[in-house]
Amino acid sequence: MDANSKTMLKGDHDMLLAKVYDDDDGEIELGLGLSIGGCGGLRKSEEDLMPCCSSSSSSDSVKIPKSKIVGTKRRVVESVSPPNATSVVGWPPIRRGHRMPILANQIKSEQEELSKINNRHLSVKVNMEGTPIGRKVDLYAHTSYEMLAQTLENMFYGTHNALGSSRLLNGTSDFVLTYEDKDGDCMLVGDVPWQMFLGSVKRLRILRNTNMQH
Amino acid sequence: MTDSGSTDPTRIPSLPEVFLKRTFSLINSTSDRNSLSLVCKDWYNYERLTRRHVSIRNCYAVTPEIVAARFPAIRSVSLKGKPRFSDFNLVPEDWGADIQPWLSVFVTAYPLLEELRLKRMSVCDDSLEFLAMNFDAFKALSMLSCDGFSTIGLEAIATHCKNLTELDIQENGVADVGGDWLSFFPENLTSLEVLNFANLGNEVSFDVLESLVSRSKSLRVLKVNQKVSLDQLRKLLVLAPQLTELGTGTFSGDLVSSSVNELESAFSKCGNLQTLSGFWDPSLLYIPALYPVCGGLTFLNLSYSVLGADELEQILTHCKLLTRLWVLDTVGDKGLEAVGSHCPLLEELRVYPDDPLDQQSGVSESGLVAVSNGCPKLHYILYFCQRMTNAAIVAVAQNCPNFTHFRLCIMKPHEPDYLTNEPMDEAFGAIVKTCVNLQRLSVSGLLTDLAFEYIGKYAKNLETLSVAFAGNSDAGMEYVMRGCPKLKRLEIRDCPFGDSALLSGLSQCESMRSLWMSACNLTMNGCKKLAQEKAMLNVEVIKDEDGDDSLANKVYVYRTVAGPRKDAPPFVVTL
């Protein structure tokens, strides 16, 4: 727990990423095998972890929202965080600027969605349980839950849509469509009016039906 | 002439000074110029008086005063500052590489300075303002991986540089404080040729951008940021069909006032387009609008786009002339097979990881082999993967023996060949044995000293080597230090190399530009010894806050004629 509290002390959102691995594995991955002069995951955990979510205080660095998944009251839903991840400073060696723009966009859209709801786009990440690659969908390009479900079915099941319409929504498929709202709670898609949904949705998750507890 | 009329029959009569100077001023290649300057004293003088461009690859290897004294006629300067590992947060903030001391000398030495290209330098807004206001002939500013400035500095550049042709802001730590910096370009500025603000976060006024593009008839490179919509992009294309390079911004969303056809029509007028980048969140519906220009593309950068294999293949079927391709590993091995099938002229491939921590996703050895099978001209590879095999790399080396740059990053440290569980030594051995022109190598995976023995034995043209989490003992590094005569830059992290390895390359150190070692087994004593032996080296230790004082956790060694740094922060100790 030491490393945990250590990482949160700095109050730097980048440390949240460390939390992902702490909570998932119960301990920091120290599997590097080289305890040389201070290298290794634990010691470095107070510094920035991944180059793509690093911070230099002089820049408008990006805080990765992915880590918000862990540690909230969302045990009912499996997190998509991978196990056995390494947490080493500056590894893998990817320049910080490389992936920042997309994430910056996600953050900005939280702030701007209300005022720009008519002529902007709201891209949220969609993950399907069992599929490693996340996708993104522009919610403002849709006008209803039906339309969204169609898009998602096309995205994840391909063009030969054997599922029929909106089985994701009516609970008859093996999968169910959920979303993470502003508070980090996992909610069933379709319960609230569409516009209200747009105002609170942060990301979408398609989960196996057996996981949901109603 | 200083040596005219010699009667020695073995001496070649001197050519007239005017003739030599005129001839030399036509020579642009730096290596040619370096050769000329070694011929004799006169030629050294003529060369230095006529040199227009200087590239300083380590800003601490020389002082601005020394540069100005030797080369009085410089119009164009390239400067690189921080060690490369600063890109990965291994170098603390405020380490240095400030541009201001250089500008302060240039303002008197090179008042007619036209171009400044910076990489990994610290640039503050005041310096940008200083640059803009004091160099009347200034034309081109390019900054890659720099930090310390904000859009306020860009406002100054826009306001005062009356002859600006190039403003290229790439992947920097820029604070976008809002305000509309683009609107600071005066209405009468029509000289822009290159405008790249892809990296900036905030919206710029589209009216201003539109007007700027419209009046810049020589504009050939335009890279917009994510805030520019697809519809706005279409309008810009209509105004600038002469573009050779385009950064599309997000390429997402609904077209408001027009359709895919209109976008396609706009692209079809851009007959000179060779490079496409951007695509931060591409709407797949609009990708076909690109097809008219795909046939002429040589460089396609999709490294920000989450695309699948099929989507990539759809695009690549139209890109027969592609020589450079950057993608995310979401395309998977299947996507790379498509690369191998559709891009026979490919010379460079970079595959970046979308989610480095997700071990189930990404690409593996089969994707790389597929590309090597289909692209025999491949000579540059940057490949991030979760796992790899020796056999695959051996095959790749045989398919593509012309590698000049081989950068393989197996993302989990110490990962062996996942089929045989052996170290990855043979993989890199095959590369260095087969690819005799190899200039740059990045190794990864589980590696013993044997891998380094191979490198030292075979990689005779190697100039840059990056090593992480590898090797067993000092012998590994010693093989490299003794065996690679052309090595210029060596960067090592988290390896069990100690003082004796560091000191083994004493003869090598001065011919190398720089050496970085972090999280290895170096001690302060070892570093001090190196510093004592070699006066022309700066041996700098970056101190840890809470570290054993006798250990040297981060060491940066570089050759210099400038002596120890005068601007070193307290945590940098020069021995």
> What CATH code is carried by the domain that includes residue A152?
3.10.20.90
- β partners of residue B170: B144
Distance from CA of B305 to the nearest CA of A (A): 9
Which of A2, A87, A91, A124 to probe the B interface (max B CBs under 10 A)? A91
Residue B270 maps to a domain: no
Residue B410 in contact with residue B385, Cβ under 8 Å? yes
Residue B376, both tokens: 């025999």
pLDDT at B9: 64
Record the pTM: 0.75
Residue B30 maps to a domain: yes
Residue B37 maps to a domain: yes
The total of structural domains in chain B comes to 1
CB contact under 8 A, A108 and B201: yes
State which residues form the domain around A186: 123-208
Query: Any residues with CB less than 8 A from the CB of B45 and at least 6 apart, and which?
Result: none
Residue A156 maps to a domain: yes
Residue A39 maps to a domain: no
The total of structural domains in chain A comes to 1
Chain B from 215 to 274: CB within 8 A of any A CB: 225-226, 250, 252-254, 256
Residue A40 confidence class, pLDDT cut points 50, 70, 90: very low
User: Measuring CA to CA, how many Å separate B206 from each of A113, B79, B214, B232, B279?
Assistant: 20, 33, 12, 8, 19
Residue A157 maps to a domain: yes
Query: Any residues with CB less than 8 A from the CB of B423 and at least 6 apart, and which?
Result: B416, B417, B445, B446, B447, B448, B450, B451
Residue B122 maps to a domain: no
As a whole number, the mean pLDDT across chain A is 55
Residue B251 maps to a domain: no
Residue A170 in contact with residue A162, Cβ under 8 Å? no
Residue A135 maps to a domain: yes
Give the model confidence (pLDDT) of A140-199 as tens digits: 878 888 888 878 877 776 543 444 445 667 666 778 888 888 777 888 888 888 888 888
Residue B334 maps to a domain: no
Q: How far apart are CA B52 and CA B85, in angstroms?
A: 30
pLDDT at A116 over 60: no
State which residues form the domain around B36: 15-51
pLDDT at A56: 36
Which pLDDT tens digits describe chain B residue by residue (575 residues)? 445 545 566 666 777 888 888 888 888 888 899 898 898 888 898 889 989 999 999 999 999 999 999 999 999 999 999 999 999 989 998 999 999 999 999 999 999 999 999 999 999 999 999 999 999 999 999 999 998 999 899 999 999 999 999 999 987 778 777 778 999 999 999 999 999 999 888 889 999 999 999 999 999 999 999 889 888 999 999 999 999 999 999 898 765 556 888 899 999 999 999 999 999 888 888 999 999 999 999 999 999 999 999 999 999 999 999 999 999 999 999 999 999 999 999 999 999 998 887 778 899 999 999 999 999 999 999 999 999 999 999 999 999 999 999 999 999 999 999 999 999 999 999 999 999 999 999 999 999 999 999 999 999 999 999 999 999 999 999 999 999 999 999 999 999 999 999 998 777 777 889 999 999 999 999 999 999 988 889 999 998 877 778 889 999 999 999 999 999 998 898 98
Sort out which chain A residues have CB atoms less than 8 A from B203's CB and list them: none
Main-chain dihedrals φ then ψ at residue A208, nearest 5 degrees? -65, 140
Provide, rounded to the nearest whole percent, the portion of chain A with pLDDT above 90: 0
- Which CATH number does the domain housing residue B28 bear? 1.20.1280.50
pLDDT at B439: 98
pLDDT at B550: 87
- A150 touches B: beta carbon within 8 Å: no
Chain A from 16 to 75: CB within 8 A of any B CB: 31-34, 36-39, 47-48, 50-52, 54, 56-61
Residue B368 maps to a domain: no
Residue B348 maps to a domain: no
Residue B150, both tokens: 């904000």
Chain A from 170 to 199: CB within 8 A of any B CB: none
CB contact under 8 A, B87 and A93: yes
Which residue of A lies nearest to B497 if distances are taken between CA atoms? A36
Q: Which of A21-25, A124-128, B276-280 has the lowest mean pLDDT?
A: A21-25
Between A17 and B533, the higher pLDDT residue: B533
pLDDT at A112 over 50: no
Residue A130 maps to a domain: yes
Least Cα distance to A200 among A120, A129, A119, A139 occurs for: A139
CB contact under 8 A, B306 and A104: no
Residue A47 in contact with residue A12, Cβ under 8 Å? no
- B126 touches A: beta carbon within 8 Å: no
Residue B545 in contact with residue B521, Cβ under 8 Å? no
CB-based burial, B38-67: b 16+ in 10 Å, e otherwise: eeeeebeebbbebbebbebbbbbbbbbeeb
Residue B444, both tokens: 């990864």
- B409 touches A: beta carbon within 8 Å: yes
Between A68 and B220, the higher pLDDT residue: B220
Kindly state the average pLDDT of the residues A123-132.
79
Between A94 and B143, the higher pLDDT residue: B143
